[in-house]
Each structure stands twice: as structure tokens, then as C-alpha cells.
Structure 1
Amino acid sequence: MAVPEFIPNSGACLVSKNVVSGAGRVRWMVRENSQAPADNGWRIFSHIDTSDYLADASNLQILPFNDVCAIEPALIGIYDFPVGSDLQLVDEGAGIKIVDTASGREIPPENFYVPPSMRA
């Protein structure tokens, strides 16, 4: 199945295989410095990932960011957050929220990235 291009030239990110396989839902998003020209710096982890699981590099996969957005569309909104961002996706039954991990503060909707094709 073809994945839509939500964000043009969005690059690739490192993602837990638990997210890719559907075993776990996206929960943690951390943006690090890019390690290669195509790397946008995002590291995406699932709600079931443990430190031991993530310590094994074979449990991580490089994927186009748009592919990961197809799995969890809420990621579109965080695309242009700066390096150093440490976020979590919270779903307590009343809708998805993106929360800054350090402060516990919910990110307001006006801070989210809007793809060019969806701008008014």
C-alpha cells in the first residue's frame, strides 16, 4: 500500500520495531541531532519498549518519517519541533494529547506543524 506524502522531504527516523509491527503503540518521541543527511533526528518508541529492548539495535529500524506518520498520524504535528524535544503521546480515552515529558505540560494545538497541503 502506498503511503501518502504527509510532509514533503521529511526524511527518515529511527523507530522501534514494536511500533512497525503493531505490537506497541507510539508513546515516546525524542529528537536528537541528525546522524546522516536523510536523518531528521526523530526517535520513535512504543509504550511496551523497555531499556533492555531498546539497547539491542536490532529492535530499531530506519523508516521514512511519512511511513511512521501513516502508523500514527499525531506525529505529523511534531515534525518541526526542535532537537532536544522529548515528548510523549498520551491517550487516556478522551483523545490523543502530546505532552512534554520533562514538564508534563500538554503541547497546545497551535504549536503543531501543519503540512503545506493542509494550510489555509
Structure 2
Amino acid sequence: MQSHKIFKRSASQIKDLIPHRGGCMATDKITIDGLPVKFMYRQELDYEHDTGWIFLSSTETQGYLDDHTNTMIYEVNTIADYDPAIIPYLNLPVGTDLERVDGTDRFIDYSG
């Protein structure tokens, strides 16, 4: 049975905020529930058009993350449109591990 997700924003509402970069992973907590990005990290690329970025809201449990239907691949611009605060950090290298400072658009890098 295929699920039909109702996204917080329709495709026609997504603006081109950044040049095409490739794909990223984000959870339904961001794209359906509309929660802001709390954690963003960049891992090794899995496929040709992968940026390595993964975006989480901080409300995801391990069980939630283990259910692959709660996560999808998106063009990075889509997640930037949901939360433009991520844009200044998108050029950081693989291994970057960022956490948003509560109540701000700033992220702190914990990758060392």
C-alpha cells in the first residue's frame, strides 16, 4: 500500500533559493509537519547526485528513523525553502555536524 503524503508546502510554493546542488535526505517532521531543521550533517556521498546532507528536526526517535517511509530524498533547494537558515552552511565539507542554536538561525559545528 502506497502512502500519500501531504507536504507542508506544495511544489508550486517552493522558490529557487539556491542553485541546483543535488539530493539530500530529510524527514517528514520537516516536510510534512513543518518543523525547523535542528540538526544537519554531511556524510560521504551515496550516489552521483548526492550532496551528503541529512536534515533532522530533533523530534525523531530511533524507531521513527528506522521506518524508511518517514524519510525521503529531496533536492537541497526544497529543504532550503522550508528552512532558509541552512543556506549559509551548505558549502561545508563532508564530516560537518551542525546543531541549531535554539531560537536563532545560527548553527554550531560539532564535527571537531
2:45 aligns with 34
In structure 2, runs of 5+ residues without a counterpart are 1-11
The answer as to 2:105 corresponding to 1:96 is: yes
Cα distance, 1:53 vs structure 2: 1.1
CA contact (8 A) 2:22 2:76 kept: yes
| Counterpart among 72, 75, 86 of residue 83 in structure 2 | 72
- 1:3 CA drift (Å): 2.4
So what's the TM-score if we normalise by structure 1? 0.75
Following superposition, the deviation at residue 2 of structure 1 comes to 4.4
Residue equivalent to 1:8 = 19
The Cα shift of 1:5 comes to 2.2
Q: Secondary structure at the match of 1:88?
A: strand
RMSD: 1.6
Number of matched pairs: 101
Q: Percent identity?
A: 29
Contact 1:24–1:47 (8 Å) recurs in 2: no
1:80 is paired with a residue whose SS is: coil
Q: In the alignment, is the contact (CA less than 8 A) between 2:34 and 2:82 conserved in 1?
A: no
1:47 has 2:85 as partner: no
CA–CA separation in structure 1 for the residues paired with 2:65 and 2:52:
16
| Runs of 4+ residues deviating >4 angstroms | none
| Cα 1:102/1:55, change in 2 over 3 Å | same
Give, in angstroms, the shift of residue 88 of structure 1: 1.0
* Deviation at residue 43 of structure 1 after TM alignment: 0.4
Structure 1 unmatched ranges of 5 or more: 104-120
Does the 8 Å contact 2:95/2:111 carry over to 1?
no
Give the letter for the 1:16 counterpart: T
Shift of 1:54: 1.0
Q: Tell me, yes or no, if structure 1 residue 62 matches structure 2 residue 73.
A: yes
